[in-house]
Amino acid sequence: MTEQWKRLRLGAVWMGTALALACGQQEDAEVRAESVGSLSSPLTLLAARYDSTLKVPTCAAPAAGCDTNYLVNRRGTQQREPNAPNTLKGTCADQPSGTYMRDESVERVRIFTTDGSNLAPGKQVTIEVDVWVAFAFSQYDSLDLYYTADATQPQWVPITTIWSFFPDAQTMRATYTLPTGGGRVQAIRAAFQRGMASGPCWSDPYSYADRDDLAFTVEVPAPSLPYQLAGGTSFNLQRRQDGTVWAWGENSRRQLGDGTTTLRKAPVKVVGLNEVASISAGGGHSLAVKTNGTVWGWGDNTKGQVGKGLSGDYSAPAQTVGLSDVVSVAAGGTHSLALKQDGTVWAWGDNSNCQLGDGTQFTRNSPVQVPSLSGVIALAAGASHSMALMQDGTVWTWGANTQGELGTGTTGGCLKLPAQVSAFTDVSAISAGNAYSMALKQEGTVWAWGTNGWGQLGDSSSLTRSSPVQVYGLTGVVAIGAGSSTSAALLSDGTVWNWGLDIVAYFAGYSNAGRFRPVQVPWLSNVATLAQGSQHTLATKPDGAAWSWGFNGSGQLGDGTATSRSEPVQALGVSYQ
């Protein structure tokens, strides 16, 4: 802008409301317009560059603001602006008539947030446009401002109209709220002309209209993930919606990942771990999958279950070697499983009971592929056995089978390779405990097999089962969990049911500590998620508050005490945010 230009402070003019409503202004475009005489932003704005595809000045990276600088300066046939007309896709060309620094022209456009943060959906922003107002028609010149939520497929929505009263150089300003649900690149249009326009592409032979667009990249936050709880042997993990992981309970093997071996009775943040998509808690180690498909482990590594390729415990997360494109993990007693996007399964850690399923009994400190398995959609790892749920609703198992936990109709020994659970289909979820297994059918019934000394199979008996039996009286189930000797189910009505060992009654010396049929957990309703630890159960409400009950000798209930509970207590500091 030349030195001879002077900026005149003009009074606020509130116009264009009728135009905006007639053209269908979006409700989230909060409008305020005024004419001012100086740049109001203290920010350093990102300088736009001409984009040959969009054909307009564009800021390709998120920033607090975007500025055309002089990319739209000049007008008319005598001193054409660079890359004219500087409108999206080259449409709506400027009126060719008019002389630079005499007739109506847009000289500079900028947009910036009012709070200094990056441009993002839902943010209030300010638009400032430097214009040249024609001397003879200063009272009849108007600036129309529009926005589009997607610069690649523009649908212009009016923001406001600002009228001038004096000639010469001016800065005009308006505020609005960046729309949500649009594209990553949005745009604004400044259309300056004599008189009132009737749309974003309006022109007549006497309007001397000058239109310029500015495209800018908005910072779209990563979609939040549902919070997740995972129960291990006397400890727990929680992945929050911001992608961080928190842990509490037993920590003698560094399984909490906070850099110490200190037992925690309330949640602490796992150090150095962000962008986590999925978690699993095992016997004394923890696993996490990041959004980039890598796997990270920490805690007990005596059998190589962290997968770092080395032995020795890890007090902070370490990346498991040789794995990518992973979607979920399962931590067992001393072994680990991972499911890749391609439906293959990988395993590492203890293999003394064939739980890695690689055809051997060699312990592995780095992942190996489980052969002959593909089309897998879910995994579960028990104390010494493993489970896989297939796309066709069948279940395959391998590892220890001393209690019939593989569901193959036999007991004893171990299976080095996966075998199908016989005559069992239409399964939607699986869970593996200590020498027993559970499955949820698509119809909402629960089935179980394996050891049953404390009634953990829920079939009204204490008989070991080598084939699936139906859990008594449960329908409408949406989630299940298998622990050391206690089982849990979440029903569609938001209630939670337990069966198996009542650990509180057991330590109190009661002879009837086993529950052989499901019983409803008292005082608990409207539950959203469920997790089963070794001897404790956790549930979360829709607001993210967590409730827990069962054994609490290591503070795994998260209520700040070491007192075991037969009824739910709220875990302190457990939040989904």
Q: Read off the pLDDT of each residue in 551-563 and give the average, rounded to a whole number.
A: 95
Q: Read off the pLDDT of each residue in 45-67 and give the average, rounded to a whole number.
A: 93
Amino acid at 417: L
Q: Measured between alpha carbons, how far is 8 from 554 in angstroms, rounded to an integer?
A: 71
Please give the CATH number for the structural domain made up of 17-217: 2.70.50
User: Which tokens go with 34?
Assistant: 């005024």
What pLDDT shows up at residue 91? 83
Whether the pLDDT of residue 5 is over 50: the answer is no
Q: Measured between alpha carbons, how far is 190 from 147 in angstroms, rounded to an integer?
A: 9
Strands of 20-86 (E only): list them.
32-36, 46-47, 49-51, 56-59, 65-67
Q: What dihedral do alpha carbons 24, 29, 33, 36 form, nearest 10°?
A: -140
pLDDT tens-digit readout, 337-362 = 999 999 999 999 999 999 999 999 99
Q: Does residue 42 have a cis peptide bond before it, meaning omega lies within 30 degrees of 0?
A: no
What pLDDT shows up at residue 169? 82
**Cβ atoms of 385 and 402 closer than 8 Å:** no
Coil vs helix vs strand at 503? helix
What pLDDT shows up at residue 80? 67
The pTM score is 0.67
Sheet containing 465-470, strands listed edge to edge, beginning at the edge strand earlier in sequence? 427-432, 436-441, 446-450, 465-470
Whether the pLDDT of residue 12 is over 50: the answer is no
Query: Cβ of 97: how many Cβ atoms within 10 Å?
Result: 14
Q: Read off the pLDDT of each residue in 492-502 and give the average, rounded to a whole number.
A: 95
Q: Measured between alpha carbons, how far is 307 from 335 in angstroms, rounded to an integer?
A: 9
Mean pLDDT rounded to a whole number for the chain? 87
The region of weakest confidence among 42-46, 59-63, 323-327, 522-526 is 42-46
Q: Measured between alpha carbons, how far is 216 from 102 in angstroms, rounded to an integer?
A: 30
Whether the pLDDT of residue 100 is over 70: the answer is no
Q: Read off the pLDDT of each residue in 62-80 and give the average, rounded to a whole number.
A: 78
Instruction: Give percent of the chain with pLDDT exceeding 70.
Output: 85
User: Which tokens go with 180?
Assistant: 């949500």
Domain with CATH 2.130.10.30 in the chain: 228-570
Q: Read off the pLDDT of each residue in 473-486 and give the average, rounded to a whole number.
A: 97
What pLDDT shows up at residue 13? 32
Q: Read off the pLDDT of each residue in 376-380 and give the average, rounded to a whole number.
A: 97
Whether the pLDDT of residue 35 is over 90: the answer is no
The region of weakest confidence among 169-183, 328-342, 554-568 is 169-183
CATH topology classification for 228-570: Methylamine Dehydrogenase; Chain H (2.130.10)
What pLDDT shows up at residue 206? 60
Q: Read off the pLDDT of each residue in 290-311 and give the average, rounded to a whole number.
A: 95
pLDDT tens-digit readout, 425-477 = 999 999 999 999 999 999 999 999 999 999 999 999 999 999 999 999 999 99
Q: Read off the pLDDT of each residue in 221-235 and give the average, rounded to a whole number.
A: 82
